[in-house]
Structure 1
Amino acid sequence: MPSKILTKQKKSASKVSGRDKLLLATGNLLRKYGYFGTGLLQIVKESKTPKGSLYFHFPGGKEELAGEALKLSAREWFIHLSVPIQSAKSASEAVKKVCEWIARDIESSGYEHGCPVATVALEAANTIDSLHLIAKENYQEWERTIAMILRKDNIPNPTALSTLILSSIEGAILLSVSYRNSTPLISVGKLLSKIISSERES
């Protein structure tokens, strides 16, 4: 009996590992090439998993896999960004630190990785409803989080300002990746920090 239980545990761990490999590989590829630029064979090769494993874990095929990978990538990115946010003493400092962290993240990828949601949102969200919903929900969550940080710091009009901040950061990410230079992100971070500070003082 113990040997059978151990065998089941090993199989279970193997399945989880294979699923995670597929999700991580797909998330990286989507971030770099987008939905239509990422093929199933490419995912299988990148994840080093059998093709049958892909359909076992994601019977809905590419759309289901891409959706789950997008959720995971966005969630992990948000967790990473929470570190500079929590270490900041004010909302203005938090925005500046977030832009600096994203700049370093993009630089370390050789300017191949931008926002984990943006590429798919721009390319496939208009034609694939499930991906549109995931992109929309993530952007709305980020916007609400920014508004909450502003509200805690007694910044007026937090909802409108959160839209400005998110839009500015997303645009700066696109420019930094396009220019292969993190200057747009650093500049936008400093400017947004000043805007938030001035809003608090007014």
Structure 2
Amino acid sequence: MAEISEWDVLVLEAGGQPPAFAKVPFLHFGTDFTNTSYVNYYKKRPQKYSEQFAKNIGGLYMRGKVIGGSGTINQMMYHRGIPQDYENWATQGNPGWDYKTVLKYFKKTEDYQGPLKSRDAPFRAFGGPIGVEKVSWKPPVCRVAIRAGEEMGLAEVDYNTDTTIGSAIFQLTTKNRERVTTADAFLLPGLRRRNLKLQINSQVIKLN
């Protein structure tokens, strides 16, 4: 929005600055994230099909309350979704949401740092604001799972292309092994614009 110079944009963030450990991937697994300075918890109803481990008890849904939002405290997994879902949205009356169109924006925002096969090249891009890397540490069980998939006829694939059926090592929104958030990629660089302002510790309770 702030790219349109005639518009003045104010970003209201309920939280504040992220903790220093947020830049280190997965460090928060050993950190007390019950600190509500960074997190809002929402109670979930028991689910019928998903989250079978919590089928009868519901659970808590954790959302970031910090600059960068949930991308500052989540597990950083990068998954664009299934191409057919975008095609379905377009045919249901949402022009511009077909896979070919949204792929342009995925590529515009991406700085892919992983290995690249020639067939996957049309779907990946470099130089964008969001770093994307394959996870750097791979427990032996991961390779065993990949081999097991291959024995069952499931090839190892890059699931962020048009091929989403197969086995894969997951990809992260990291660059040089550091977390990349939406704030890192878009908000903080955008604050150089005179028409964009950020106000932290500001809880929105009503929109007029």
The structure with the greater share of residues assigned to helix is 1
**TM-score, structure 2 length as denominator?**
0.23
Larger RCO (CA within 8 A; separation ≥ 6): 2
**TM-score, structure 1 length as denominator?**
0.24
The structure with the greater share of residues assigned to strand is 2
